[in-house]
């Protein structure tokens, strides 16, 4: 029998990090000592308090049934409390907070709630791939907004043509930004809120890296600015905040109608996050400030080791204020980012992410993750010195 893939699945580009993982596994199978600066997966363990909380909660029979789709009330209340303390934003825990199986699934499911075939999502380029994937799977069209270095990697909203805006329904933004590490000021969020109101757009702000910041910088919330709660939602994840990438626990907050629509999509696709995981999520939020302070010191030390090292070997690189990524132009001897990444893997046994894999405007750059030890980063610099 022959099975024909749907047009939507055919239109999906290969998922970048699956391809990178394949190359990494092949190299490791050959016995090579690979330093992985590719995918952003924290190497430090999940805090012991969170693990113990899960262990205890998993033994309670009441947590072993189907979870509530919207998340247990205790976690939603704790999220609202965290938002008030962290950002000064007041949320209704019953209507404006939804627990997710990691922020990725919520980001990808959002278009299913609002995009009809032919509708447009405005998506930064380069970007985290699910912005595009979720839009394509919902039958929508992707319109990319280039993130250019000369504009501090912020999208130029005024450059979007009127005929595109007439069909646009969603606007994705992401600060601190992945992959560029760029940050934004409050004024940008204010501009986005006004732009969304003028053009009747839903704003989806991916704030997964809001807690990873350096040099005294403290990222803000889109929901804090005037008009934001009318226009959109904000996605968060405990993956980066508390080294919980494999746990798959996140949340979306903001406009109640948008949150409710995502919940309706989810209720038809999944049954919610395991209740014991949600209990552990409460513990994670309880200790998040102490934990992120420690992790940010570690990441800042690694950032300095990588950036200072690259500059010393003749690869000009700027220090990011946030995220655990370093985004840098490729050396002049290379024409394409994928060529630079290939040489790094083949000649230096180092995995880095080619910028083109995250969007056309990412060409000419590579991304390096700070999710290996300082010592391994220093070794990576020495290897790169020899081949690049």
> pLDDT per residue over 319-368, tens digit each?
999 999 999 999 999 999 989 998 999 899 999 999 999 999 999 999 99
What confidence tens digit (pLDDT) does each residue in 206-251 have?
999 999 999 999 999 999 999 999 999 999 999 998 999 999 999 9
Q: Distance between CA atoms of 225 and 297, rounded to whole angstroms? A: 29
> In sequence order, what DSSP letters do the residues of 330-364 get, joined into one string?
PPTT-S-HHHHHHHHHHHH-EE-EEGGGG-GGGTT
Same structural domain for residues 255 and 197?
Answer: yes
* pLDDT for the residue numbered 31: 80
Same structural domain for residues 41 and 184?
Answer: no
Domain boundary (239, 267, 288) is at 288
* pLDDT for the residue numbered 15: 64
Q: Distance between CA atoms of 113 and 58, rounded to whole angstroms? A: 32
Residue 2 in domain: no
Same structural domain for residues 276 and 350?
Answer: no
Same structural domain for residues 197 and 137?
Answer: yes
Across all residues in the chain, what is the average pLDDT? 94
Residue 16 confidence (pLDDT) above 70: no
CATH number at residue 133: 3.40.640.10
Q: Distance between CA atoms of 35 and 377, rounded to whole angstroms? A: 8
Residue 372 in domain: yes
Task: Report the C-alpha dihedral over residues 168, 170, 175, 180, rounded to 10 degrees.
Answer: -60
Same structural domain for residues 222 and 327?
Answer: no
Same structural domain for residues 195 and 324?
Answer: no
Q: Distance between CA atoms of 52 and 122, rounded to whole angstroms? A: 42
Same structural domain for residues 217 and 315?
Answer: no
Residue 172 confidence (pLDDT) above 70: yes
Rg of the Cα atoms in the chain: 21
pTM: 0.94
Q: Distance between CA atoms of 174 and 189, rounded to whole angstroms? A: 11
Residue 186 in domain: yes
Angle between helices 48-58 and 275-312 (to 10 degrees): 160
Mean pLDDT across 285-295:
95
Same structural domain for residues 198 and 141?
Answer: yes
Same structural domain for residues 347 and 328?
Answer: yes
Residue 59 in domain: yes
State whether the Cα torsion 311-357-33-334 is positive or negative. negative
Residue 341 in domain: yes
Residue 214 in domain: yes
- Please, which residues have CB within 8 angstroms of residue 377's CB and are 6 or more apart in sequence? 37, 302, 305, 306, 309, 370
Residue 1 in domain: no
CA atoms within 13 A on the CB side of 62: 5
- In eight-state DSSP terms, residue 180 is T
Domain that holds residue 201: 48-288
Domain boundary (246, 269, 288) is at 288
Domain boundary (288, 315, 333) is at 288
Residue 326 pairs with which residues in a beta bridge? 368
Contact at 8 Å (CB) between 239 and 102? Answer: yes
Same structural domain for residues 70 and 205?
Answer: yes
Tally of structural domains, the chain: 2
Same structural domain for residues 114 and 173?
Answer: yes
What is the separation, in whole angstroms, between the first and last Cα of the chain?
A: 49
| Structure tokens given for 176 | 């601190």
* pLDDT for the residue numbered 196: 98
Q: Distance between CA atoms of 77 and 301, rounded to whole angstroms? A: 35
Residue 215 in domain: yes
CATH number at residue 349: 3.90.1150.10
Same structural domain for residues 184 and 296?
Answer: no
């Amino acid at each position: 029998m022959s099975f024909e893939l749907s047009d939507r699945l055919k239109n999906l580009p290969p998922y970048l990090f699956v391809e990178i993982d394949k190359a990494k596994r092949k190299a490791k199978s050959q016995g090579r000592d690979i330093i992985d600066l590719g995918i952003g997966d924290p190497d430090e363990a999940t805090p012991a308090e969170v693990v113990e909380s899960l262990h205890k909660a998993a033994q309670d029979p009441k947590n072993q049934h189907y979870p509530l789709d919207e998340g247990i009330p205790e976690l939603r209340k704790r999220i609202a409390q965290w938002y008030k303390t962290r950002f000064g934003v007041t949320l209704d825990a019953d209507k404006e907070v939804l627990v997710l199986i990691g922020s990725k699934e919520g980001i990808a499911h959002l278009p299913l709630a609002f995009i009809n075939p032919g509708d447009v999502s405005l998506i930064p380029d380069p970007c985290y791939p699910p912005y595009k994937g979720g839009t394509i799977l919902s039958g929508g069209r992707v319109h990319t907004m280039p993130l250019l270095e000369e504009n501090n990697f912020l999208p130029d909203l005024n450059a979007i043509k009127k005929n595109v805006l007439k069909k646009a329904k969603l606007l994705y933004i992401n600060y601190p930004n992945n992959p560029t590490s760029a940050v934004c000021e409050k004024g940008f969020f204010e501009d986005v809120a006004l732009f969304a109101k003028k053009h009747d757009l839903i704003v989806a702000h991916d704030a997964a890296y809001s807690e990873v910041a350096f040099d005294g910088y403290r990222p803000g919330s889109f929901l804090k600015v005037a008009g934001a709660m009318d226009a959109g939602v904000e996605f968060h994840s405990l993956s980066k905040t508390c080294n919980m990438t494999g746990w798959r626990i996140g949340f979306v907050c903001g406009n109640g109608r948008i949150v409710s629509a995502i919940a309706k999509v989810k209720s038809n696709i999944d049954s919610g996050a395991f209740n014991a995981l949600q209990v552990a999520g409460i513990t994670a939020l309880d200790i998040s400030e102490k934990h992120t302070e420690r992790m940010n010191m570690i990441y800042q030390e690694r950032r300095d080791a990588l950036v200072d090292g690259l500059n010393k070997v003749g690869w000009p690189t700027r220090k990011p204020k946030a995220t655990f990524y370093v985004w840098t132009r490729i050396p002049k001897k290379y024409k394409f980012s994928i060529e630079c990444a290939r040489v790094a893997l083949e000649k230096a046994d180092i995995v880095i992410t080619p910028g083109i894999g995250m969007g056309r405007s990412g060409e000419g750059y590579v991304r390096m993750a700070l999710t290996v030890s300082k010592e391994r980063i220093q070794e990576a610099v020495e290897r790169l010195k020899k081949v690049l």
